Structures are given as structure tokens and as C-alpha cells.
Amino acid sequence: MTLLPPTVEQQRRIDEVVPVDPETRKRDIAAIREWLSKQPHLPDHMDDARLKRFLFGCKNSIERCKLILERYYSVRTAVPEFFSLRDPLSKDIQQCHESIHYFVLPSLTNEGHRVTVLRLRDTSIDKFSIRTITKRILMVLDTRLMEECCLSNIMVIDLQGFSVVHFTKCSPTQSIIRKSMLAVQDSMPLRLHRVHFLHAPAFIESVLNIFYPLLKEKLVQKFRIHTGGGEELHPYMNKDILPKEWGGKAGTFDELNDSWRKKIEKNRDWFLREEKLSRTNESARLPETKSRLLAELDGLQGSFRKLNID
């Protein structure tokens, strides 16, 4: 699946929000490289193209970029359940493709936002694995960091087929959910613009009430809860960029999901190599750079109150 580049108008919008000066960017990347060279616990194999995407995702803030790089590498050591055995051809990843639709739409919104969709392909509870879903989401995010910059992200979560048991497995009182949120939301240079919930059940407010105390009000304000399906998205974005089932022209759910399966599989060698390289050397960490990840994983609020939002 090709992620289509911005149109001229979309690029103009992106440049207005995150202006890029080539000379300044060159100096900023050099400064980050110098910082990395003084962090003996961090790897320094990331190429300039990917570092530029990190910096762009951090709105050109060098200090924010350093923080996210630290967390990007540290979480891979601290939470191995999401970052080990990342073989796209493994049984668990292949089964996840069969049970969960998770894909990124090819076209940006008119404003320059990238849209990601998550929905059940199989409603069986025994095939709903938070660990594997999180692992796959992170593989998609890493693939995007190899390919593109986008202004911000829109997440569409289609709740059709979700049962009370599905929601129970997503409770933030569970350690794996807190770890998942930390890994996905707090260690990637990707900003969140909005979250749309489709086919929301009558008890959705009761579910979200469990999360609200753990989330910043600014993030909660980005939620849009809809009782209907994909047609509810039409007032928010050009419907042509949506899947066919939602009135768009991007392809069917299965086609989009399978195209991302192939994209991940194409990068198999990269994932196997990165699994060994993108880790911290905790024995070489200087005392003043001691990671706070484990402390955050032990708390209910640590990994939620620092979500990277616009």
C-alpha cells in the first residue's frame, strides 16, 4: 500500500503548521547527532531521513525530539512483549491480520492528516489479543516512520462487533493496557488530531468513564462518539479517501488490510534487524539519564497524562 504524498494544497497547509527551513533542519539534525554521541546507552544507527521525521513529528523541537528518541529506544528494552519476535510471518501476527482490520488510508485529509482505521474482522474473543494487536500497530507505525511525515493523525475505531468482554480486555486497570498506551502513544513522534468511535454501543460512556480520570481534558475533547457507521465521518473528511464500505474510493476493508500485511512482510528483514539494534544498553546508562519508564509502568497515570497531542 502506497502512502500518497501531499497535494500542493495539503503541503501548503502542512508548511504553515510546521515550517521547514533546510539549513535550520541540517543544523538541528547535527545537534541531535551530537547529543546521541554523548548517550552511551542509546544506539546511533538511525539515518538522517528518519531523524528528520522524528524532528518533524516533534514540531521541530530539538528537546522534544531528544525525549522521544530516548523513550523510543528505552521502551523497546522495558516492554519486550511488544518488541521481541517481530517477524511479520510469525503465526501470531498472521492471525492478527485475519482477525483485526488495521490499516492506514492511502490519501491524506484535505488538512494533511493521516487516517488510520481499526475494526474487528473476527469477533471471536479468543482471537482478540492486546499484546499482538499492539505489536502489529507498532510495526505499522515504524513502517510509517521509514516512509513519511504527516501533519497529525486521525484514529477511527469501529466498535461494531465489540462485546462487553472485548471492552473488559481493554480495561486500563490491566498492566498490559498501560504498557500498550505507553508504547504506542508516548514513545512515537506522531501527534493525534482526533479519535472517532463508530457504532458506539449504549454503554460506551460507562466504558470511557474508566479512562477519563487518566486522560488530559485536551485529549478527551478530541473524541467524537458516533452511533452510526462510516457515513458519520463524511462531515469531517472527504469521503473519497475512505474505504468503499464507508462510501469512499480507497478500496475495501479486506483489500486495505491485506495491502498493509504485504507491506509489513516486505520489510521483514528490517524488523528482524531492528529488533536487535533499537535497544538501550542499560549497563552503559549514565546515572543522570536513568529511565523513568518502569516507574511510569507501575502507575495508573504516568503513561496517560503525557500523551502527545496537538
Q: Which domains does the chain have, with CATH numbers?
A: 1-285 (3.40.525.10)
pLDDT mean across residues, the chain: 89
pLDDT score at 134: 96
Length of the chain measured in residues: 310
Distant-in-sequence, close-in-space partners of 310: CB < 8 Å, separation ≥ 6? 152, 191, 192, 193
Least confident range of 48-57, 110-119, 207-216 = 207-216
Stronger pLDDT, 132 or 204, i.e. the higher one: 132
Q: pLDDT (tens digit, 9 = 90+) per residue, 224-241? A: 999 999 999 999 999 999
> Do residues 103 and 259 touch, judged by C-beta distance below 8 A?
yes
Mean pLDDT of the region 84-112: 96
Cβ density class 279-300: b for 16+ within 10 Å, e for less = bbeeeebeeeeebebeebbeee
Encoded amino acid at 8, one letter = V
pLDDT of residue 302: 43
Contact 271, 139 (CB under 8 A): yes
34-73 burial, b if ≥16 CB within 10 A, otherwise e?
A: ebbeebebbbeebeeeebbbbbbbbebeeebbbbbbbbbb
- Tell whether the model's pLDDT for residue 307 goes beyond 50: no
Confidence at residue 208, expressed as pLDDT on a 0 to 100 scale: 81
Residues 6+ apart with CB under 8 A from 309: 191, 192, 216, 218, 219, 222
pLDDT digits (tens, 9 = 90+) for 24-80: 999 999 999 999 999 999 999 999 999 999 999 999 999 999 999 999 999 998 889
* Residue carrying the nine cell digits 531492528: 274
The CA angle 199-201-204, to the nearest 5 degrees, is 115
- Strand ranges (E), 31-145: 100-104, 113-120
134 or 306: whose pLDDT is higher? 134
